[in-house]
Amino acid sequence: MARFKSPSGGRASPNKDGSENVRTDRHRERSAFRGGEAADGTASIRLNKYIARSGVCSRRKADDLISQGRVKVNGEIVIELGTRVKVSDEVEVSGRSISPRRHAYILVHKPKNTITTTDDPHDRETVMELIALPEREKSGLFPVGRLDRETTGVLLVTNDGDLAHRLMHPGYEVNKLYRVRTKKSVKPHQLDELRRGVMLDDGIAAADKIAYIAPPDHREIGLSIHEGRNRQIRRMFDAIGHEIVALERVNYAGLTTSDVRPGKWRRLTDHEVRQLRRQVKLN
């Protein structure tokens, strides 16, 4: 079987102390009211867009919140879709005041024993604690999708609700590439099973592509999927009688952890952001 190759990604230049860098440039200083909409208190944007830019949720979900009467503008409940607001307006969602902000896009190399949430009631370390930014800058950021506690690899953190929603939606078929190490050798016919699809408790799951990484070692497997069900890869291998001893996501929508050590992070380049948005048909 053909050797499995994982694509390479962008590079992150090191800081003086050897940690991964926080890339900055003047393009990130653009107003939260962008696209020709000046943040001077007079220009307006649609309310659902305002909510999405505040990192609350996607525009589609924002429309649901508006219809449910959970959004106030200047103290008044607004339920009309298409309502426009100015940057000077006071907007609340479910009783919490919000405001649009510049979008941030951060790649984290998730290590083992970290939780992919913004906080944890059991006081376990979360991926958000790995990002060395002031709390005011981290406010509104959230991980896109989840990796279980033992899974390592590339993870996107952002406050761009529209992008996050589309990246996680199976309809956009965003590719995710994993490196799997099993306890026992996986037989060729078992790879075929995973390629055709195995039955899980939430339906059939199949690998888009699958191959041995370094034959003749049949315990190192590379596979890609476009779904994102809970613990999907582990459950797929369990369905063919194999225990996973190491699982790493090596590529997510074209992003990799190249030159980003476990537990470190970097900002995405403008080119990487454009590539992500293009994949999910966002302008």
Radius of gyration for the chain, computed over Cα atoms and rounded to the nearest angstrom = 21
Distance CA 38, CA 25 (A): 20
Q: What three-state secondary structure class fits 42?
A: coil
Residue (of 139, 138, 156, 136) closest to 147 by Cα position: 156
Active site residue 148: yes
Long-range contacts of 62-69 (CB under 8 A, 24+ apart): 62/161, 65/93, 65/94
The single residue of 40, 119, 148, 202 carrying the catalytic annotation is: 148
Distance CA 15, CA 22 (A): 8
State which amino acid sits at residue 155: L
5 class by beta-carbon count within 10 Å (0-12 exposed, 13-18 middle, 19+ buried): exposed
Q: What three-state secondary structure class fits 194?
A: helix
Residues recognised as catalytic: 148
